[in-house]
Amino acid sequence: MSTDAILAPLKDQMLEVEERIYRDLSPADKRLSDLVFHISKIQGKRLRPALLLLSGQCSGGLIPQHIDLAVVVELIHTATLVHDDIIDEAMVRRHIETMNTKWGSKISILFGDYLFSRAYTILSALDS
């Protein structure tokens, strides 16, 4: 069975996760907007949020907080990739130049930290 077939039942929820990520990262500052747009071009299959949603379905059904947690998981994963590219001095990720190649390490570190802070802000707003 293909990944697409496994994830097909989650199509609507994954779209909601995607929309939330971009809504939560949509800044008024143009410089930050360019960084958010760039990172969106490098996105993968979003397996981590999908696995979280599948786990939620298997354990009694999805609730709105599962979407929040899926967004958090993806933001943290993306932040670690940004920081990892700096450590590894990677020039390219998925055939697109890395953030540190395009903007340098300082801005990339701060952007990775920004992603972490957005994730933790979402987490702090959740009920226990």
DSSP secondary structure letter of residue 95: T
**Which residues on neighbouring strands pair with residue 97, listed in sequence order?**
92
C-alpha distances (whole Å) from 81 to each of 52, 58, 62 are: 19, 29, 28
Q: How many residues does the chain have?
A: 128
Cut 0.95: pTM above it: no
For residue 96, what is the enclosing H or E element? Answer: strand 96-97
30 vs 106 pLDDT, higher one: 106
CATH topology of domain 3-125: Farnesyl Diphosphate Synthase (1.10.600)
pLDDT at 117 over 70: yes
User: What was the pLDDT predicted at 40?
Assistant: 87
Backbone angles phi, psi at 74, to 5 degrees: -70, -40
Least confident of 43-47, 63-67, 73-77, 99-103: 43-47
Pick the closest to residue 15 from 89, 71, 94 (CA basis).
71
Per residue in 48-62, pLDDT (tens digit) is 999 999 999 999 999
* Averaged pLDDT of the chain: 92
pLDDT band with cut points at 50, 70 and 90 for residue 128: low
Pick the closest to residue 124 from 53, 67, 72, 79 (CA basis).
72
Percent of the chain with pLDDT over 70: 99
Domain boundaries, the chain: 3-125
Pick the closest to residue 42 from 101, 117, 110, 1 (CA basis).
101
pLDDT at 71 over 80: yes
Per residue in 7-31, pLDDT (tens digit) is 888 999 999 999 999 898 887 777 7
Helix, strand, or coil (residue 4): helix
Angle at 52 between CA 11 and CA 1, to 5 degrees: 55
